[in-house]
């Protein structure tokens, strides 16, 4: 796995200003800079994308799956609603780690169900922006690229 895609869904472009008591004060750019450093040390390329549009996320997951790339996916609200995104993951064979900044199980009931989790390699949630770091470490370890 020489390439990892970090795909972010709706409203994640608002990180740092959107409900900082829930999502923290770091921006998406802050997270991207930190992950870029980790990936560089592991000699892995990393590509970041964010969209508020479901079809973009579906296209990007299919692209990553077709290339055999790993995916860190924070689908935002689409986690709970998008059969299309779930089908893109299972249909393309994408190696997905589902990520959430907050502990969705400690929040509103409608956030407790993920359509993505059953087709993802793993789910990491509740660690704020560090959830992304943990997902990257998981993908690197599964590809044998992480140093102990």
CA distances from 122 to 59, 96, 134, 136 (A): 21, 7, 11, 11
> Per the residue annotation, which of 23, 78, 95, 132 is the catalytic one?
23
The question of whether 23 is a catalytic residue gets the answer yes
Q: Which of 5, 78, 100, 132 is catalytic?
A: 100
Two tokens, residue 24:
């923290």
Specify whether the CB–CB gap between 98 and 120 falls below 8 A. Answer: yes
State in Å, rounded, how far the first CA of the chain is from the last one.
Answer: 18
Catalytic residue numbers? 23, 100
């Amino acid at each position: 796995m020489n390439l990892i895609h970090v795909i972010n869904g709706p409203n994640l472009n608002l990180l740092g200003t959107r409900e900082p008591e829930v999502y923290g004060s770091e921006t998406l750019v802050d997270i991207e800079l930190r992950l870029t450093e980790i990936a560089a040390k592991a000699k892995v390329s990393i590509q970041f994308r964010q969209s508020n549009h479901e079809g973009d996320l579906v296209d990007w997951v299919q692209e990553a799956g077709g290339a055999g790339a790993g995916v860190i996916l924070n689908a935002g609200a689409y986690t709970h609603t998008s059969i299309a995104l779930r089908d893109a993951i299972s249909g393309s064979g994408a190696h997905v780690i589902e990520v959430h900044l907050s502990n969705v199980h400690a929040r509103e009931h409608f956030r407790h169900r993920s359509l993505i989790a059953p087709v993802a390699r793993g789910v990491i949630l509740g660690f704020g922006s560090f959830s992304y770091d943990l997902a990257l470490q998981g993908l690197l370890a599964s590809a044998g690229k992480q140093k102990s």
